[in-house]
Structure 1
Amino acid sequence: MFANEMAEAACVIGHKRPHECNEEVEEPQKTKKKRKVDEDTCQNQHKRKEKKSRLSAGLFGEDCEIRHEQVYEFLKYAVLGKRHNATQPSWCRIYHQRHLAKVVVIVLQEVSQLYFYKFYLQFKHLRRAFQHRFSLPPTSANFIASVCGEGISMKHQNSMQGSASAYSGHIPKNSDLQKDPIIEKYGEEKHGLTSYILTLEEMRKYDYPLEGSPGCGNYVHTQCESPRTDSSPLFGLDCEMCLTEKGNEVTRVSLVDAEGQCIMDELIKPETQILNYFTRYSGITRKILLPVKTKLPEIQDKLKKLLPCDAVLVGHSLNADLHALQMIHPSVIDTSLLFARHKGRRFKLKFLAKAVLGKEIQSENKVGHDPKEDAEAALELLQYFIDQGPRKVVELNLEMVLSAPNLMESSQQKSALQLQQNGVQKHSSEPPSIPKPCFLDYLNATGQKTLLLSRKELASSGLCQNSLSTSNKQILKRAIQEVPLSSFSVIQFTLRSAHDAPDLVAEVCEKMRIQLADMLTVYAGPFDKDFCLKSLRREFKKCGPIQSLTVLTETHQVQRPVTVMMLDCDMLIKELEMDIENEGVIYVAGVKKTLTDTDLQEKFSHLKDLQALFWPRDLKTGKHRNYCFLKFQTSESAQEALQDINRQGAKGSQLQSRKALTSSHLHRWICHMDYNDGKPIQLVHHILHIKKEQLSTSEQDIRKKLKKLDRSIKKLYRSLENNTLCVVLLPGVNSVYGSFSGLGLMGIKEESRNSAC
């Protein structure tokens, strides 16, 4: 019933009468056809309004690693967007970021890019669900901190044994939070509004108008003398002033009640001539004030009538507003003092509204401030303080949020000043170490929940404090429960193979090199005894660069050597063709190296729906290869292009084409593998000397573990809300036994793709 009513209400927006969309009545056949058209039109309009987030195809053919800092900026923009001044990353753009439901990062600790391609068939879900992939440099000492911001603090951590809240328990007495001025004044517990009303001493200290105070002799008293309780009515008050011959005089006043309703918004004619309208801040102009006849005494009388006898006024630096109104009120709450800072400094209302409430006020696009907007913001800030309590306000870490944009610059200046004072040269080669601000602080500032789940191994890094008995299964169970409740989540699974031999990575790497070499080796023949090796090389060179060419004289029968490692080769090739990363991508060989990038673009410009072109370079010489990859918008367009290129080949063209099999990272692996201290490695030499041995126990164990990890990710992925950005990070390995790059996979969950996976 409720769904039908909502559908009807939504359809009414686009039509004059609700029944045009879904009312069932008897009507002529012609009218029914027209109604059907209207229904289709309405549904199409609704579909157009539902924008879905998507990622750009800029990663196709990326010939470089994505640094951890770039991943951090990407996640920051995905979570915060332009509303919080986050910058759109250039290496992979996010379209319609504000429509993202959530952001989830899954980290597979101890897993590298090498493992992904070596045990490719085990990652059934990963390779089918995530279309975008990129290389990562080998892991740093603290991988999660590097991709989520080095300034990540203990207040963002979730204990696996404790509550889901990151803020349970009491603040330790030796904590810096105990020294916060808010905690020092109000303690940790929640209080009613009467606890935050300024005392008589505080009003005198902060220059509030009081009876008997200098200059307040002619001020009007609101006569609100009844005792205040925690149920007393709240009213937000804000004024705008202009500079007159008398000084700053009020020219506009707004009063808002606790429900956010504006009960008073009046323009006031000053007593003396205006010298400066302060239009940029007040929004007042000569034209606006010209017809105004209302004087200040009228406003004072109106305020006295509107305010109940136990009213509490709320404002930001409210003393200035009351002086401008020339009024005395005994019960006030000042949000500039409530959200206290060290050394008596104060936050601006605009900052607090954005950081605490997530609201944009005093926009630069508007002419002047809106006192109704400012009064309402002050009221909401107080209500947030009362509802959440002092502890929650302190844990927002507003100082960090405020200083984040300028933290680096100000800290460097401060450090340079300290160095000068200590007699150290200003131009030191060692720059001061500056902590990097973390976007999790922004999330907490806007009241959004973050979730970090991992195992005990991260305790040393200061990110998690979990039990040693915690398993991947327990992490998965909790993640499925709590990820839907969090705006940003980081879930870490650990490989933890039972056979963590030091040489295991080297063993896997060597087998991977051999398997790649076997896949890159072509056996052709038989040939006549007088065949020309040079012409043979020239013929095969059309398909791509030839690393080596060896003549086998022992037999005339051409057959690829069969080993245990290559028994799954046909299955692997089929899976590579079906890989989502290779969807709509074709490989083209026989490209002349003399062509320029522009020439190549023009050569394929006639192909339908061509989206991107990747022309790899030799990492050693910097010259283009004689093959390229073409990416199309659809698989159908790619198939048409493949047939078109092969037809040209049949007519004498040097170009040859097939469906792409390799990852965009694979050619880099080949380049690194081809050279060892500058000497070429003979790939055929590896092939002919492979040992026919069964998979080691350690490798079998890894295979099982990786298959379980893939299943865990699949379960977690299926539980995610549609339009959720999911990023899977394989940190890589950086140890004395070798450095191996990591891998990133990401995608935005869609309903259709989820059902296919």
Structure 2
Amino acid sequence: MSQLHFYKFYLQFKHLRRVFRHRFTLTPSANFLASLYGEGANLKPQNTAQGLTSASNECIPKSSNLKCDPIIQKYGEKKQGLTSYTLTVAEQKRNDYPTKGSPKCKGYIYTECDQQRTDRSPLFGLDCEMCLTAKGNEVTHVSLVDAQGQCLLNELVRPESTVVHYRTRFSGITPEMLLPVKTRLSDIQTRLKKLLPPDAVLVGHSLNADLQALEMIHPSVIDTSLLFARSEGRRFKLKFLAKAVLGKDIQCEQKLGHDPAEDARAALELAQFFIEQGPAKVAELNLEMLLATEKLAEVSQKKAALQPQGCMVQKPLTEPTHLSKPCFLECLQVTGQKPLLLGRQEPDSSGLRQSNLSTSNKQILQKALEDVPLSTFSIIQFSFGPENIASHLLAQLCEKVGRKLTDMLTIYAGPFEESFCLKSVKKEFGSCGPIRSLRVVTETYQPYVCIQYEVLEAAQLAVESLNGAEVAGSCIKVNNANSKRMLDCDVLIKELELDVENEGVIYVAGLKKSLTETDLREEFSQLEDLETLFLPKDHQSGKHRNCCFLKFQKSQSAVDALEVINGWTMKGSKLRSRNALASGHLWRWIWQMNHNNGKQRRNVFYKKLEQLPDFEQDLRKKVKKLDHHIKKLYRGLQNNTLCVVLFPGVNSMHGSQSGLGLMGIKDDGGRSAC
């Protein structure tokens, strides 16, 4: 099953959608169980002592397989000069770098290195160690190295305020070391300004923290924690990158704290490696897999260390290997956990699965109710027969969902006078949210306008706020499209509003496009209990779509905010708001369905559509049973149990549908929370 099934049969999934608070989209898998169990993994164990740098050539992925790597997605595959990797002003602001004109940077010293950068501009590595003082983090050790790795500056600094914690384990600073020191921060600032040429590019790992502590602003920087990009905003540690990329050990445990000169040199060499080798070569290192392997080895070593002396320690299934990423179950076994696996297909002692297709979902449920409470980790697989995933039936199902989605996003407004101003209509309805298309309907006695929106909230808001309003000189009616697909639309809208993911979330439209995210945060900061602001942006232009979502800590605060915002004028623009209908992952899925699947739907060969109603009715019954099974299983779990429900998705030659994950922790009230 896939995300498509969940939203097609949304009303039938009563338990899943009301209990599991957190959802996320999954990349579709051709064989989800194989990836989970590790079937067919080409495991060739190698000596742990070889470390992270002993990858064989046969395991390095080809460039064609690297399209999804975050590094390739960010920089492309071709080599570029160093100026391509320096942070823009916007990136610096987004990553909390001190910048000119920022209110937070009053009194900061500017390096005055304003000469135009080229790909031959000199690189300098910079790193600082800080101690905690009454003022906050203050610099106590500064190092600057040039492109050849020569140390130009390596100074201890006496902080202005009293030291509260020396953080010796990380900073390497002790009270005795600072006793004779007379150098102050202002002295370091002056020396750095003299040492840096006018076109200098500073390199560091999370360099923003160093510049903040130095109270200095520099216009051109390369941050290796951002250069070696990862997904979802995560970052590699400098110690890991130095070992995996350069083959160097830094920040060793036997040393007292970090050596800023060593760290500055490592960051500089990492940037030089990236520039000289190019993104494709860096991506081929497969850093994510190396990190997973390293962590797996650490867990294995810790487990071995805990074994009583003289005992025979069983070798883990997977030792560090560059030929295959350790599968999930292998990671569990390394930590000493033996998971319970229940389903129509179960692995035997060798790790291969034995089919047992005679087992029904009901029998699986009964077995789970007995065995799950006795296991620390359980995986239960409910299955549907192959007749429910036939490619032509899935294609028709996708077609039906796409059409219904289009109907829900489409409204009709009118009637208008023959000579009405279309620009005025577009402006008025555009204040409810981003419009995908707008056309005049002339087949009627008087003109009507058909408007298709990008988001569900916009279409619903237009119906609620503009029906009966005077637009372009006419008193108009606003309605959704009339079709049998829309018969249960009101029920669906109501249930989406009550969805646990939309608790405390409201939709706001009518934002001027000149307003930045910072402007909006300042404007909305007066709303009580505001937790998050989500600003959807256009995939091509990068500009926001004149609407946003606000999440509040309490549901009542969201209700209060709705009353305040409706009728609120911001920078001359009247705002409109309503309860949210689509969470973040659903919003992105809707956009994808509208923009990508339209072409696929037109090119798919369909069998007679008369086949679908019987299939759909049968699947609807099975979905209700599945929801009931999970409800019974969920009720039988102990409190504080982490629960994850996965729809693996579909990935075949006939097309792909994204999977869906639902997650929560069972609490005393019978609902999940995280």
Structure 2 length-normalised TM:
0.51
Task: Give the drift of 1:531.
Answer: 1.7
Pair 575,695 (structure 1): closer, same or farther in 2 beyond 3 Å: farther
Report matched runs for 1:524-563 at 5 Å.
524-553=413-442, 554-555=444-445, 559-563=479-483
Aligned to 2:628: 711
Pair 462,594 (structure 1): closer, same or farther in 2 beyond 3 Å: farther
How big is each residue's C-alpha offset from its partner over 1:435-460, in whole Å with a ceiling of 9 and x where there is no partner? 526564554654x4411112139899
Which residue identity lines up with residue 503 of structure 1 in the other structure?
H
The one of 578, 592, 595 aligned to 1:658: 578
Aligned to 1:520: 409
Pair 722,747 (structure 1): closer, same or farther in 2 beyond 3 Å: same
Matched, 1:355 2:306: no
How big is each residue's C-alpha offset from its partner over 1:174-219, in whole Å with a ceiling of 9 and x where there is no partner? xxxxxxxxxxxxxxxxxxxxxxxxxxxxxxxxxxxxxxxxxxxxxx
Matched, 1:133 2:23: yes
Task: Give the drift of 1:602.
Answer: 1.5
Task: Give the drift of 1:563.
Answer: 2.6
How big is each residue's C-alpha offset from its partner over 1:30-69, in whole Å with a ceiling of 9 and x where there is no partner? xxxxxxxxxxxxxxxxxxxxxxxxxxxxxxxxxxxxxxxx
Q: Which whole-Å CA distance do the structure 1 matches of 2:350 and 2:20 have between them?
A: 29
Q: In the alignment, is the contact (CA less than 8 A) between 1:151 and 1:435 conserved in 2?
A: no
Q: In the alignment, is the contact (CA less than 8 A) between 1:733 and 1:741 conserved in 2?
A: yes
> Secondary structure in 1 aligned to 2:620?
helix
Q: In the alignment, is the contact (CA less than 8 A) between 1:449 and 1:485 conserved in 2?
A: no
Pair 520,149 (structure 1): closer, same or farther in 2 beyond 3 Å: same
Q: In the alignment, is the contact (CA less than 8 A) between 2:399 and 2:601 conserved in 1?
A: no
Q: In the alignment, is the contact (CA less than 8 A) between 1:480 and 1:716 conserved in 2?
A: yes
Q: In the alignment, is the contact (CA less than 8 A) between 2:299 and 2:335 conserved in 1?
A: no
Percent of residue pairs identical: 56
Q: Which whole-Å CA distance do the structure 2 matches of 1:355 and 1:715 have between them?
A: 36
> Secondary structure in 2 aligned to 1:630?
strand
Q: Which whole-Å CA distance do the structure 2 matches of 1:576 and 1:645 have between them?
A: 21
Q: In the alignment, is the contact (CA less than 8 A) between 1:355 and 1:442 conserved in 2?
A: no
The one of 352, 356, 359 aligned to 1:467: 356
Task: Give the drift of 1:565.
Answer: 1.9
Aligned to 2:10: 120
Q: Which whole-Å CA distance do the structure 2 matches of 1:680 and 1:546 have between them?
A: 23
Task: Give the drift of 1:494.
Answer: 1.0
Q: In the alignment, is the contact (CA less than 8 A) between 2:316 and 2:334 conserved in 1?
A: no
Task: Give the drift of 1:669.
Answer: 3.1
Give unmatched runs, 5+ long, in structure 2.
44-297, 447-476, 603-607
The one of 355, 372, 377 aligned to 1:483: 372
Which residue identity lines up with residue 438 of structure 2 in the other structure?
L
Which residue identity lines up with residue 421 of structure 2 in the other structure?
C
Structure 1 length-normalised TM:
0.46
The one of 635, 660, 668 aligned to 2:555: 635
The one of 326, 343, 346 aligned to 1:436: 326
Q: In the alignment, is the contact (CA less than 8 A) between 1:563 and 1:692 conserved in 2?
A: no
> Secondary structure in 1 aligned to 2:631?
helix
How many matched pairs? Answer: 383
Report matched runs for 1:58-457 at 5 Å.
111-141=1-31, 143-147=32-36, 354-355=302-303, 378=308, 397-400=314-317, 403=319, 407-408=320-321, 433-434=323-324, 436=326, 438=328, 440=330, 442-443=332-333, 446=336, 448-456=337-345
How big is each residue's C-alpha offset from its partner over 1:411-456, in whole Å with a ceiling of 9 and x where there is no partner? x5xxxxxxxxxxxxxxxxxxxx24526564554654x441111213
Q: Which has the higher contact order (CA 8 A, sep 6+)?
A: 1
Q: Which whole-Å CA distance do the structure 1 matches of 2:299 and 2:388 have between them?
A: 54
Task: Give the drift of 1:692.
Answer: 11
Q: In the alignment, is the contact (CA less than 8 A) between 1:497 and 1:701 conserved in 2?
A: no
Q: Which whole-Å CA distance do the structure 2 matches of 1:501 and 1:714 have between them?
A: 27
Q: Which whole-Å CA distance do the structure 2 matches of 1:497 and 1:437 have between them?
A: 26
Q: Which whole-Å CA distance do the structure 1 matches of 2:545 and 2:571 have between them?
A: 23
The one of 625, 645, 649 aligned to 1:732: 649
Q: Which whole-Å CA distance do the structure 2 matches of 1:589 and 1:674 have between them?
A: 21
The one of 696, 716, 723 aligned to 2:613: 696
The one of 544, 550, 561 aligned to 1:624: 544
Task: Give the drift of 1:502.
Answer: 2.7
Matched, 1:610 2:499: no
Pair 571,399 (structure 1): closer, same or farther in 2 beyond 3 Å: closer
Q: Which whole-Å CA distance do the structure 1 matches of 2:299 and 2:441 have between them?
A: 76
Q: In the alignment, is the contact (CA less than 8 A) between 2:347 and 2:353 conserved in 1?
A: yes
Q: Which whole-Å CA distance do the structure 1 matches of 2:349 and 2:400 have between them?
A: 34
Q: Which whole-Å CA distance do the structure 2 matches of 1:677 and 1:353 have between them?
A: 48
Pair 623,477 (structure 1): closer, same or farther in 2 beyond 3 Å: same
The one of 370, 378, 381 aligned to 1:492: 381
Q: In the alignment, is the contact (CA less than 8 A) between 1:495 and 1:706 conserved in 2?
A: no
Q: Which whole-Å CA distance do the structure 2 matches of 1:138 and 1:565 have between them?
A: 27
Q: In the alignment, is the contact (CA less than 8 A) between 2:30 and 2:652 conserved in 1?
A: no
Q: In the alignment, is the contact (CA less than 8 A) between 2:411 and 2:481 conserved in 1?
A: no
Q: Which whole-Å CA distance do the structure 2 matches of 1:666 and 1:353 have between them?
A: 42
Matched, 1:510 2:399: yes
Q: In the alignment, is the contact (CA less than 8 A) between 1:152 and 1:438 conserved in 2?
A: no
Q: Which whole-Å CA distance do the structure 1 matches of 2:560 and 2:389 have between them?
A: 48
Q: Which whole-Å CA distance do the structure 1 matches of 2:324 and 2:368 have between them?
A: 33
Which residue identity lines up with residue 626 of structure 2 in the other structure?
L
Q: In the alignment, is the contact (CA less than 8 A) between 2:317 and 2:334 conserved in 1?
A: no
Task: Give the drift of 1:744.
Answer: 0.6
Task: Give the drift of 1:708.
Answer: 0.9
> Secondary structure in 1 aligned to 2:413?
coil
Pair 588,352 (structure 1): closer, same or farther in 2 beyond 3 Å: closer
Q: Which whole-Å CA distance do the structure 1 matches of 2:345 and 2:580 have between them?
A: 42
Task: Give the drift of 1:681.
Answer: 11
Pair 124,674 (structure 1): closer, same or farther in 2 beyond 3 Å: closer
Q: Which whole-Å CA distance do the structure 1 matches of 2:480 and 2:573 have between them?
A: 29
Report matched runs for 1:26-37 at 5 Å.
none
Q: Which whole-Å CA distance do the structure 2 matches of 1:503 and 1:151 have between them?
A: 29
Q: Which whole-Å CA distance do the structure 2 matches of 1:679 and 1:549 have between them?
A: 20
Q: Which whole-Å CA distance do the structure 1 matches of 2:400 and 2:493 have between them?
A: 17
Pair 501,400 (structure 1): closer, same or farther in 2 beyond 3 Å: closer
Which residue identity lines up with residue 526 of structure 2 in the other structure?
H
Give unmatched runs, 5+ long, in structure 1.
1-110, 155-349, 360-376, 386-392, 413-432, 683-690
Which residue identity lines up with residue 396 of structure 2 in the other structure?
E
Pair 591,561 (structure 1): closer, same or farther in 2 beyond 3 Å: closer
> Secondary structure in 2 aligned to 1:603?
helix
Q: In the alignment, is the contact (CA less than 8 A) between 2:2 and 2:660 conserved in 1?
A: yes
Q: In the alignment, is the contact (CA less than 8 A) between 2:20 and 2:663 conserved in 1?
A: yes
Q: In the alignment, is the contact (CA less than 8 A) between 1:564 and 1:693 conserved in 2?
A: no
Task: Give the drift of 1:623.
Answer: 2.6
Matched, 1:667 2:587: yes
Matched, 1:590 2:510: yes
CA radius of gyration, larger in? 1
Task: Give the drift of 1:461.
Answer: 11
Which residue identity lines up with residue 573 of structure 1 in the other structure?
I
Which residue identity lines up with residue 712 of structure 1 in the other structure?
H
